[in-house]
Amino acid sequence: MKLAFFGDVVGKPGRKAVLDHLAALRARLCLDFVVVNAENAAGGFGLTGAIAEDFFTAGADCLTLGDHAWDQREMLIHIDRDPRILRPRNYPARANAPGHGAHLFELADRRRVGVVQVQGNVFMRDNLECPFAHAEAALEEFPLRRVSDAVIVDVHCEATSEKMAMGHFCDGRASLVVGSHTHVPTADTMILENGTAYQSDAGMCGDYDSVIGMRKENSIYRFETQLPGQRYEPALGEATLAGVFVETDDATGLARRVEPIRIGGRLSPAEPAV
């Protein structure tokens, strides 16, 4: 199976990169399943139903969110209407959070792909329940080879150490563990000891002539003066579509190959050959 995960879509440039490139890329790479992290897609803050539909039309099968899941209030209702949109699984039960943090998707050919999102706790603005316990529960719900043919885990968190720990925790039980949230693609694309593909952060789909997708002038002012300054706004230059490609072994669901994807914008290009 051929899978792809694309990092946080930031604002209008990020949306344009997805809409301009995803359909053709899906065809070129013969992708069976695509996940897009869309939590910054609506002006840098959250996701709307209309934008979600645009992404699905462009070729996404699943959208994940993160700590900005509810920045657009409509998502509190819309997420219950569309199981293809996932928020972090590790909200406490007492929160009664709408939507779900894991889902088993069935493809047209009857193969099944499990997608899980958990949010880390280190350096994050909200402390949710233990992401490792919730990842464990989801992996037990649709175990690789017995229930699912592939499993993708989106680890939405700040600390690289927490992401790496999750990769090793899931090693051998997921096809791909990939980080989101920090908006910078890391150079540690690899297959772990027991066969799980891993990358600490897939990067963002956004303008890299920026500070993690936002206008650099606003961020520089805040760092320089320690004053709040203007509201953060997405940078509006040409975006890079950034993500990771995985090819799995049909017999095991584990990774045979993993490579970065970078198309357009300022970053050096990278596209797997198939």
* CATH for 195: 3.60.21.10
pLDDT at 156: 98
Name the DSSP class of 238: P
Do the domain assignments include residue 53? yes
Write out the H or E segment, with its range, that includes residue 116.
strand 112-119
Which of 21, 68, 156, 183 does the annotation list as catalytic?
68
Do the domain assignments include residue 270? no
pLDDT at 250: 95
pLDDT at 147: 98
pLDDT at 229: 83
pLDDT at 182: 98
pLDDT at 230: 87
Examine the residue annotation and report whether 183 is marked as an active-site residue of this protein: no
Do the domain assignments include residue 273? no
Tell me the pTM: 0.97
Q: Which domain holds residue 56?
A: 2-263
Q: pLDDT tens string for the chain (274 positions)?
A: 999 999 999 999 999 999 999 999 999 999 999 999 999 999 999 999 999 999 999 999 999 999 999 999 999 999 999 999 999 999 999 999 999 999 999 999 999 999 999 999 999 988 999 999 999 999 999 999 999 999 999 999 999 999 999 999 999 999 999 999 999 999 999 999 999 999 999 999 999 999 999 999 999 999 999 998 888 999 999 999 999 999 999 999 999 999 999 999 999 999 999 8
Do the domain assignments include residue 271? no
Q: Which residues contact 147 (CB under 8 A, 6 or more apart)?
A: 104, 112, 114, 141
Do the domain assignments include residue 123? yes
Do the domain assignments include residue 238? yes
Do the domain assignments include residue 272? no
Beta bridge partners of 123: none
Q: Residue 6's closest CA among 256, 189, 180?
A: 180
Q: Please tell me the total count of domains within the chain.
A: 1
pLDDT at 137: 98
Other beta carbons less than 10 A from residue 10's beta carbon: 29
Do the domain assignments include residue 234? yes
